[in-house]
């Protein structure tokens, strides 16, 4: 099936007389008639549901849909995008290990990596994704377990050269994890360019309606854990699972099964059935929504570029963008709906502009169906020092505009009157 059809049909096929719409299986637990069966479920010998922390039929359907959209072998939903990023790393790395991350990433992920993972004993170092191959290779250590980056970085809008970074990672026996939140599988499928694991904040475009916080990890099934000397936990018995060897028992799905069996079991940051139902509702129209976000955003970005009160507009779809070449390769169908721009008047002008908007709302969110706006330096990225801000590609006067699905004339009219108020 094509992506449009997968959005509607993947993950749930009702049998004769069953509900047409994905049912919400609102149950923590599932009952069985024999102890033997339950034991087999616990030993991961049989597939099936037994406790909704580990898996639930509604959540499972959404996982299958997202795996199909990304072209992976399996997926696991989490309670948030943050939980997805955390588990994507912890499935690979433990105390004493190292991860190499691109520096242009979401502020929450930056803090998770720089502060919280450090407390867990996992060291993350950051590198500019425009660094040369040699510089990136030099940043890989004997204890490195993964390279991490975002397809379109939030909010710098830098586009990741997935193929180049994947080649460097694979040469070193490392998987590349890509946060594909801003692109979605409709605009870019990172596995086609060599990424090994994809994470999303489903809170953003996949849900799209600002209803439900959530995340997902998708496994491409392509990384050969047995060929790299770095992943002993994948090829030796897991004492917490009766000596299961993940690569032996689960083959291509070793990573995503390990993520669920160890980390979801122990950390418990699961998505709910009701939450998965909302995410599914959003996914059903994803292929329809994404082109419209792209169309509207390109027109708004072009408009903003002509305004004298604005010094810089960052949108990878603009020909003037330093990311345009990468966007042509990785984002052929559009550069998504988020635009960053810098007002000449800096911090003060930013506040005046935002306070003057009428239809566009100020909200700590992106990728809503409604146009919304945010000032990262005073909100999402406020934990960061000025130096860290610059490292993430953010300036004090930067505005992040998430273009919605309204008629673009209304969006531009609102921006025009707010710019005039400065
Ligand atoms: C929002 C976001 C996250 C975090 O997701 P939550 O669902 O808010 O936890 C991670 N990565 C990117 C790119 C995001 O935009």
User: For residue 105, which atom of ligand 1 is closest to its CA?
Assistant: 13
Paired tokens of 260 = 């669920």
Residue of the CA atom closest to atom 1 of ligand 1: 201
Residue 254 Cα to ligand 1 middle (Å): 25
Residue 315 Cα to ligand 1 middle (Å): 19
Residue 152 Cα to ligand 1 middle (Å): 12
> Could you give phi then psi for residue 74, rounded to 5 degrees?
-175, 160
Instruction: Give the pLDDT of residue 47.
Output: 84
Residue pair 395/369 in contact by the 8 Å Cβ criterion: no
Residue of the CA atom closest to atom 8 of ligand 1: 81
CA atoms within 13 A on the CB side of 416: 10
Q: Can you tell me which residue has the tokens 């020092």?
A: 385
Instruction: Give the pLDDT of residue 393.
Output: 67
Q: Is residue 113 in contact with ligand 1, taking CB distance under 6 Å?
A: no
Where does residue 35 rank: exposed (0-12), middle (13-18), buried (19+ CB within 10 A)?
Answer: exposed
Residue of the CA atom closest to atom 4 of ligand 1: 81
User: For residue 83, which atom of ligand 1 is closest to its CA?
Assistant: 9
Q: Is residue 205 in contact with ligand 1, taking CB distance under 6 Å?
A: no
pLDDT in tens, the chain (422 residues): 999 999 999 999 999 999 999 999 999 999 999 999 888 888 888 888 989 999 999 999 999 999 999 999 999 999 999 999 999 999 999 999 999 999 999 989 999 999 999 999 999 999 999 999 999 999 999 999 999 999 999 888 999 999 999 999 999 999 999 999 999 999 999 999 999 999 999 999 999 999 999 999 999 999 999 999 999 999 999 998 889 999 999 999 999 999 999 999 999 999 999 999 999 999 999 999 999 999 999 999 999 999 999 999 999 999 999 999 999 999 999 999 999 999 888 778 888 899 999 999 988 889 999 999 988 777 777 777 777 777 766 787 889 999 999 999 999 999 999 999 99
> Bridge partners of 51?
29
- Candidate from 188, 203, 214, 365 with most ligand 1 atoms within 8 A of CB, to mutate: 203
Q: Is residue 161 in contact with ligand 1, taking CB distance under 6 Å?
A: no
Q: Is residue 203 in contact with ligand 1, taking CB distance under 6 Å?
A: yes
Question: Smallest Cα–Cα separation from 208: which of 7, 357, 23?
Answer: 7
Q: Is residue 321 in contact with ligand 1, taking CB distance under 6 Å?
A: no
- CA 303 – CA 313 distance, rounded (Å): 10
- CA 292 – CA 230 distance, rounded (Å): 43
- Candidate from 105, 154, 190, 205 with most ligand 1 atoms within 8 A of CB, to mutate: 154
- Candidate from 79, 84, 181 with most ligand 1 atoms within 8 A of CB, to mutate: 181
Residue 61 Cα to ligand 1 middle (Å): 22
Q: Is residue 184 in contact with ligand 1, taking CB distance under 6 Å?
A: no
Instruction: Give the pLDDT of residue 391.
Output: 72
Instruction: Give the pLDDT of residue 351.
Output: 83
- CA 182 – CA 194 distance, rounded (Å): 18
Q: Can you tell me which residue has the tokens 């059935």?
A: 273
Instruction: Give the pLDDT of residue 380.
Output: 72
Instruction: Give the pLDDT of residue 392.
Output: 66
Residue of the CA atom closest to atom 5 of ligand 1: 81
CA atoms within 13 A on the CB side of 19: 7
Q: Tell me the longest C-alpha to C-alpha distance in the chain.
A: 73
- Candidate from 103, 104, 105, 109 with most ligand 1 atoms within 8 A of CB, to mutate: 109
Instruction: Give the pLDDT of residue 360.
Output: 96
């Amino acid at each position: 099936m094509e992506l449009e059809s997968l959005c509607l049909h993947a993950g749930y096929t009702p049998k004769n007389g069953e509900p047409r719409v994905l049912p919400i299986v609102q149950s923590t637990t599932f009952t069985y008639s024999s102890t033997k069966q339950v034991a087999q479920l616990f030993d991961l010998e049989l597939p099936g549901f037994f406790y909704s922390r580990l898996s639930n039929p509604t959540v499972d359907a959404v996982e299958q849909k997202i795996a199909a959209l990304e072209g992976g072998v399996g997926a696991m939903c989490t309670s948030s995008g943050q939980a997805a990023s955390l588990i994507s790393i912890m499935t690979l790395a433990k105390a004493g290990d190292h991860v190499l991350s691109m520096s242009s990433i979401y502020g929450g992920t930056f803090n998770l990596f720089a502060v919280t993972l450090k407390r867990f004993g996992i060291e993350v170092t950051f590198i500019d994704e425009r660094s040369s191959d040699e510089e990136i290779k030099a940043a890989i250590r004997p204890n490195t377990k993964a390279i991490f980056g975002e397809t379109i970085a939030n909010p710098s809008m830098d586009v990741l050269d997935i193929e180049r970074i994947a080649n460097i990672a694979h040469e070193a026996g490392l998987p590349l994890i890509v946060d594909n939140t801003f692109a979605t599988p409709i605009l870019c499928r990172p596995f086609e360019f060599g990424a090994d694991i994809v994470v999303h904040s489903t809170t953003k475009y996949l849900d799209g309606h600002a209803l439900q916080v959530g995340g997902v990890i998708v496994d491409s099934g392509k990384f050969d854990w047995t060929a790299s000397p770095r992943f002993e936990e994948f090829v030796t018995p897991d004492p917490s699972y009766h000596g299961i060897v993940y690569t032996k028992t689960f083959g291509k799905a070793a990573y995503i099964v390990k993520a669920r069996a160890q980390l979801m079991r122990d950390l418990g940051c699961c998505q709910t059935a009701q939450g998965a139902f909302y995410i599914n509702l959003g996914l059903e129209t994803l292929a329809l929504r994404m082109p419209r976000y792209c169309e509207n955003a390109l027109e708004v970005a072009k408009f903003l570029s002509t305004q004298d009160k604005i010094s810089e507009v960052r949108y990878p779809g603009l020909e003037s963008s330093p990311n345009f070449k990468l966007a042509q390769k990785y984002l052929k169908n559009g550069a998504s709906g988020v635009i960053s721009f810098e007002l000449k008047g800096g911090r003060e002008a930013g506040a005046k502009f935002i306070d003057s908007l009428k239809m566009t709302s100020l909200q700590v969110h992106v990728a809503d169906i409604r146009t919304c706006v945010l000032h990262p330096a005073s909100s999402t990225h406020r934990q960061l020092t000025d130096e860290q801000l610059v490292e993430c590609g953010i300036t004090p006067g930067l505005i992040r505009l998430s273009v919605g699905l309204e008629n673009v004339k209304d969006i531009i009219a609102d921006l025009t009157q707010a710019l005039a108020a400065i």
